[in-house]
Amino acid sequence: MDATYDGDVVRAGRSAREQFHDARGYGRPVDGDVHLAPVEAAHLLFRGDLDAVVDARPGTAGERLGFRAFLTSAAVSEVAFFLYKDLRDRGFYLSPARDGWVDEVSGDFVVYPRGRGPWNGAVAYRVRAVGERAAVTADDLATLAAVDADEGGAGVLAVVDEESEPTYFAVESPTMTGSTHHDIPEIAGDLAADRVLVWDPPAPLHERAFYGQRLDEGDAVQLSLVEAAYLAGQGTLSIAGDGGRNPAEIIGERGREVEGERFDRRLRIYAALRAAGIVPKTGYKFGADFRTYADVESVADLGHSERLVRVLPSGHTFTPRDLALDVRLAHGVRKEMVFALAHDEGVEWLSVGRLTP
Amino acid sequence: MDATYDGDVVRAGRSAREQFHDARGYGRPVDGDVHLAPVEAAHLLFRGDLDAVVDARPGTAGERLGFRAFLTSAAVSEVAFFLYKDLRDRGFYLSPARDGWVDEVSGDFVVYPRGRGPWNGAVAYRVRAVGERAAVTADDLATLAAVDADEGGAGVLAVVDEESEPTYFAVESPTMTGSTHHDIPEIAGDLAADRVLVWDPPAPLHERAFYGQRLDEGDAVQLSLVEAAYLAGQGTLSIAGDGGRNPAEIIGERGREVEGERFDRRLRIYAALRAAGIVPKTGYKFGADFRTYADVESVADLGHSERLVRVLPSGHTFTPRDLALDVRLAHGVRKEMVFALAHDEGVEWLSVGRLTP
């Protein structure tokens, strides 16, 4: 069976509509015929269900294109083809997210729940497909995270690697709340090179609210600069020999000396987490900015941290490889990977997890 | 007991020498007395073995400094102190790597095997200590990797995080050799957007030498651009419609279009690995450039990949956090993390692994 490529869609007749659309969810029926997206036509060529696509674009000689010629033509993106094939191989029906083809044009494909198709209305995933070397902006992820609430179906980023194998990431907007709220009496500390030492700490500081670390059991508590800057900003911490200056400013200056503008960004995210009742501690061992504990009643009774948080500037662009690294590591230690974007107007949280469709 | 800080070392008398050096490996004996490095004196103050250090620097008023004042003075680096304390807590004796104190001045501390000390000559580790936010150059790692061969003892990078907890990385120069050498007959392929499709592949191409992936079983093989560029450079692959141009050039151009200068760097490392009999495949899922297989006899009989390789430009600077991320992920999937530095004069390989002293 042949079909005709007009530069936009691949058109085929009634019997193709019955075989491909009605029975197997390809394309969109139009006046009793069927319109196939190029990627769908490529898949039908690959399977041998179509014999050729006739190139009927204006100015062409009506060449008959087989799978090989059609796939390597500009009509079809290889990334889209390998993704389409993978989802079909996994038993899904899916539609290219073209205007008029799907309920909401978002991402590249609308994937239906297994056993369903374009006839039912239910949506499992809305998938954006990119190659291993593509740039993925924070806005791209935010758009995927918004899918669930706005459109139904989960927002998914699919990355097709150099070996044409896709991996899938579910992108969501996590609700960041915890229950850690403890009163800390006022304290004083010494500013050392890049930490603050509190020599006579009240028990709630570390043992309840989980600020800092004990130098030794029952001994001084040393605070990281970001912890100290937050406590100083809350009016809880003063610094010995501050010369009458605001201790939050003194610590902020030191923080910017050792870490540049990242310090202020991390402090903002730190403060947003504390305000939400969540305890951030260094995520260094996991290659992240923070690991977080939502519900700390007592440090003696501490569970595992639940999340890893990476702090990023507004407008950050991800590479899929960096995403894969963060998400895989978090998965390996059974934590949720959360990206915190420091926008001028507030913090945006995005969680990214592995998905096997 | 008091001791005297002269701006360089902390001096104490015969009885201090007996107690601290002879019995417990602190400092260096000088004329029957002992000289302590400031970090050693800080540890003795912390333990209460020294009561105070008298500040005898020219122009000072001979103030008696306790642990608190001495630790937060400029005499002692907190990073060095927390590291020193951690290694002492683990049961090691160690010496600051000061000129005249140790056999070779390399890194910050010479750590002796457990149960040994500065009297024996044997060395377990030569440790460089940095804070979580320090910059670590490729040269720093290379220096640590060279330690084993040149000086005895393993080269170790110790990173002290915001919470003052050290983690340890063993740095080595791995021997990169494998046994994968298969003859491939000449082949032709089609260049698509960012891969090359070989429609009639000879069996050794994928099934023995593990180039590319099958589109489907028994079907076309698709090569990544870096695989294709390498095979074209070897004279094995030609490109359909090359217009008489060198196929390696055509693919290289495409590679630089999609990946910039990274493409040539990755190709160099790819070629070096293949020349060593090692098969590189994409490391995307692990957030690396390549995963590698040293001994591929047949793809049907493939084991797990042994290494993850990250390709870096000559002169790359690491952040400890990125190192921690890569090394932890590699450890979690039981692979060796290898950094490949593309110098003008050749490739430098550095492996970094977790170490528990």
Return the residue matching tokens 């056999």: B103
User: Among residues B5, B125, B211, B293, which one is catalytic?
Assistant: B293
Rounded Cα–Cα distance for residues B335 and B121 (Å): 34
Inter-chain CB proximity B193 and A77 less than 8 Å: yes
Taking one residue from A and the other from B, the number of pairs with CB-CB distance under 8 angstroms is 139
Rounded Cα–Cα distance for residues A9 and A7 (Å): 6
CA distances from A28 to A19, A99, B297 (A): 12, 11, 48
Distance from the A292 Cα atom to the nearest Cα atom in chain B, whole angstroms = 14
Distance from the A198 Cα atom to the nearest Cα atom in chain B, whole angstroms = 10
Residue of B nearest to A213 (CA): B163
A222-232 burial, b at 16+ Cβ within 10 Å, e below that, comes to: bbbbbbbbbbb
Residues on chain A touching B285 (C-beta within 8 angstroms)? 161, 167, 324, 328
Inter-chain CB proximity B161 and A197 less than 8 Å: no
What is the per-residue pLDDT for B105?
72
Single out the residue of A161, A238, A267 nearest to residue B288, CA to CA. Answer: A161
10-residue stretch averages of pLDDT, chain B, 357 residues long: 93 96 96 96 96 92 92 92 97 93 83 91 92 92 83 89 94 96 94 92 94 88 96 96 91 93 96 98 96 95 96 94 96 97 94 96
Distance from the A32 Cα atom to the nearest Cα atom in chain B, whole angstroms = 33
Q: Where are the alpha helices (DSSP H) in A57-204?
A: 67-71, 78-89, 138-151, 203
Amino acid at A218: G
User: How does pLDDT run across A75-94, given as a tens digit for each residue?
Assistant: 999 999 999 999 999 999 99
Return the residue matching tokens 């952040």: B319
Inter-chain CB proximity A163 and B328 less than 8 Å: no
Rounded Cα–Cα distance for residues B321 and B305 (Å): 25
Q: What is the dihedral of CA A204, A210, A215, A219, to 10 degrees?
A: 10
Count how many Cα atoms sit within 13 Å of the Cα of residue A209 in the half-sphere of its side chain. Answer: 21
Rounded Cα–Cα distance for residues B54 and B2 (Å): 7
* Catalytic residue list contains A304: yes
Inter-chain CB proximity B281 and A321 less than 8 Å: no
* Catalytic residue list contains B281: no
Which pTM value belongs to this model? 0.93
Distance of CA B290 to the CA centre of its chain: 17
Mutate to test the interface with A, among B46, B86, B284, B293 (most CBs of A within 10 A): B284
Mutate to test the interface with B, among A162, A270, A309, A329 (most CBs of B within 10 A): A162
Residue of A nearest to B47 (CA): A216
Distance from the A102 Cα atom to the nearest Cα atom in chain B, whole angstroms = 27
Q: Name residue A198's beta-bridge partners.
A: A221
Inter-chain CB proximity A213 and B165 less than 8 Å: yes
Residues on chain B touching A220 (C-beta within 8 angstroms)? 68
Intervals of chain A under pLDDT 50: none
Return the residue matching tokens 């490729």: B138
Q: For A224, which of B46, B68, B163 is closest by C-beta distance?
A: B163
Rounded Cα–Cα distance for residues B170 and B195 (Å): 38
* Catalytic residue list contains A211: no
User: How does pLDDT run across B243-302, given as a tens digit for each residue?
Assistant: 889 999 999 999 999 899 999 999 999 999 999 999 999 999 999 999 999 999 999 999
